[in-house]
Amino acid sequence: MRYILASGSPRRRELFSKVVPEYEVIPAVGEEVTVKQLPAEIVEELSYQKASEIFYKNLTDSGDGLVVIGSDTVVSYNHRVLGKPADRAQAADMVRMLQGQTHSVFTGVTVFYRIGGEDKSFTFSERTDVHVAPMTEDEITAYVSTGEPDDKAGAYGIQGQFAIYISGINGDYYNVMGLPVARLYKEMRDHDLL
């Protein structure tokens, strides 16, 4: 099998290596556009777009045995979807909104594959609820100034400096990092892709 992860995220690369030790990284470059409103549907649609883009760009080289995994993560709080912040001011606003509250992280995963000359795919999403401790304005400013929130949905990384403010989670920890590895492993195993 030729495995391709359609993501440039260092966190996803680290996590995917737990499922498949040897794979290629070819990040999707297409514009992320969604017409969906619900967080689970948004991440499923975006993960589908990423996986299908890379699958069909590499299909002629690989033929049978090509497996492409696309993933997308968003943070949702109070019926509002939070992607990556545009700048540090927006990052501070996001952290300010999440502090002292519980929000949800949704990650969508799509797997495209070709077996026996037939193109197939499946898509799923996972939800994890994250509880953030109350933070002072100085703590918010100090955290945002680290630069850690710059490229992360909801302006934080659970595995980084923000960990000191996470008071609990309900669901898959790795889902919050950007890839629900246990579910992905099970789905790939069930589809005979491992």
Domain count, the chain: 1
Count CB atoms within 10 A of the CB of residue 126. Answer: 22
pLDDT for residue 107: 97
CATH number, residue 67: 3.90.950.10
Which residues span the domain enclosing 33? 2-190
Give the model confidence (pLDDT) of 108-125 as tens digits. 999 999 988 889 999 999
pLDDT for residue 62: 63
Q: How far is CA 125 from the centre of its chain?
A: 10
Query: Using alpha carbons only, how large is the chain's radius of gyration in Å?
Result: 17
For residues 33-43, give the mean pLDDT: 94
> Does the active-site annotation cover 72?
yes
Question: CA of 124: how far to CAs of 3, 70, 79, 182, in Å?
Answer: 18, 11, 20, 13
Looking at the chain, the whole-number percentage of residues with pLDDT higher than 70 is 98
**Where is pLDDT greater, at 77 or 58?**
77
Q: How confident is the model at residue 55 (pLDDT cuts 50, 70, 90)?
A: very high
Task: Please state whether 113 falls in left (phi above 0), alpha (psi between -120 and 50) or beta.
Answer: beta
For residues 120-148, give the mean pLDDT: 97
Catalytic, out of 61, 64, 72, 129: 72
Cα torsion 43, 181, 113, 23: sign? positive
